[in-house]
Amino acid sequence: MSTQSSPPFLQLDGVRRAYGAVNAVDNIDLQVVRGELLTLLGPSGCGKTTLLRMITGFEGLCSGAIRLEGQNIHHQPPQKRPFGIVFQNYALFPHMTVRENIAFGLRSRRWSRQAIHQRVAEMLELADLQAHASKYPSQLSGGQQQRVALVRALAPGPRVLLLDEPLSALDARIRVHLRQQIRQWQRALGITMIYVTHDQEEAMELSDRVVVMNRGRIEQLGRPMDIYRFPATPFVAGFVGQMNFFHATVEEEKIHWSGYMLRADNIPVNNREILAGIRPSEIELLPPEYAGSIENRVKASVREVCALGSVVRLTVDAGNSSSASQLHVEIPQAQARILAFGEGQQVVLRLPKEAIRVYPRKGQA
């Protein structure tokens, strides 16, 4: 991937698309860096497919501009844009073999016989499909068909590969395997990819950068770990990973919540009413016998224990027992086994100050 100082490769300036009263894509500015894998992530209806279709040319712009290396391309029809596209439903030609499917786009671009032969062989090898080259799509599994669709789109060497939920029709195990392969191919070929998904785990694993969208707008753009650790808004915090939210007030630069006074970074002094958040995995469980004084120590009692696989989620009542003071805490399976939690058990928690996120309460700046 190029560095941040690279000139804009693909640039979207104030692009907007409305359907009647619905602003599907609402004045979005975005710069895609050459060689990166950028994911558009968001809930159903947030506008990610519309945005992708505007880039491909299948959807027109109400206003704004799309530029590839400084050249306006938003007036060009889709077939003139140097992009490859992969959809959720493999869209292979059923009457053509795997080899013919991959060669199709090269023939229509008038590549020579020899060049086609060589490129198809490379693509078959890349996707480990040599043994299936003479089969028809109906003779392949879903995962194999999608691998064909991916290398068919890669074969002509598009400047950008656009992928719209390419794995959502596949079962979970194949999805995980194939997304790792997509990442490997993207790195090996150095190709720029824009990837649409509503699956936050997929976005976190695949991407150089993630664009979190909501209601046609960008809520946050950043590297996966930064988005996870420093979600810019409560929407992002709740959509990317789990978050405990609690309403609180700020007094003397401390968060007052459920009888506790907590320290946190970046407390807004002029905002008495806040929404605070902390991820379940960031809350520390101190040894039960722990009695020392420590910052942001909270006593709680266990209400529910739920094994989620590699982690165990505790629902605890902190402070008084109203639901407003309930927290989820996630701890590794091994720690949970040693401590052998039961309902009603008293625990001591630490809410690390650097892990507490603070947002203005709705309606306040």
Pick between residue 24 and residue 167 the one whose CB is nearest to ligand ATP: 24
Chain centroid to CA 138: 32
Extract the tokens encoding 225.
């770990």
Q: How many residues does the chain have?
A: 365
**Whole-number minimum distance, CB 82 to ligand ATP, in Å?**
23
Q: Of 19 and 320, which CB lies nearer to ligand ATP in the complex structure?
A: 19
Structure tokens at 29: 């500015």
Nearer to ligand ATP, 83 or 257 (CB): 83
Q: What is the b/e burial string over 204-223, where b = at least 16 CB atoms within 10 angstroms of the residue's CB? A: bebbbbbbbbbebebbbbbe
Other CB atoms within a 10 A radius of the CB of residue 58 amount to 14
Minimum distance from CB of 160 to ligand ATP (Å)?
A: 18
Q: Decide whether 19 or 110 has the Cβ nearer to ligand ATP.
A: 19
CB of 180 to ligand ATP, least distance (A): 23
Going by C-beta distance under 8 Å and a sequence separation of 6 or more, which residues neighbour residue 15?
25, 27, 28, 51, 54, 61, 63, 64, 65, 66, 74
| Minimum distance from residue 238 beta carbon to ligand ATP (Å) | 17
Nearest distance from C-beta of residue 14 to ligand ATP, angstroms: 17
Nearer to ligand ATP, 167 or 248 (CB): 167
Name the minimum Å distance from CB 198 to ligand ATP: 5
Residues that bind ligand ATP (CB under 6 A): 19, 22, 24, 42, 44-50, 198
Contact 52, 40 (CB under 8 A): yes
Nearer of residues 23 and 345 to ligand ATP, judged by Cβ: 23
Contact 360, 268 (CB under 8 A): yes
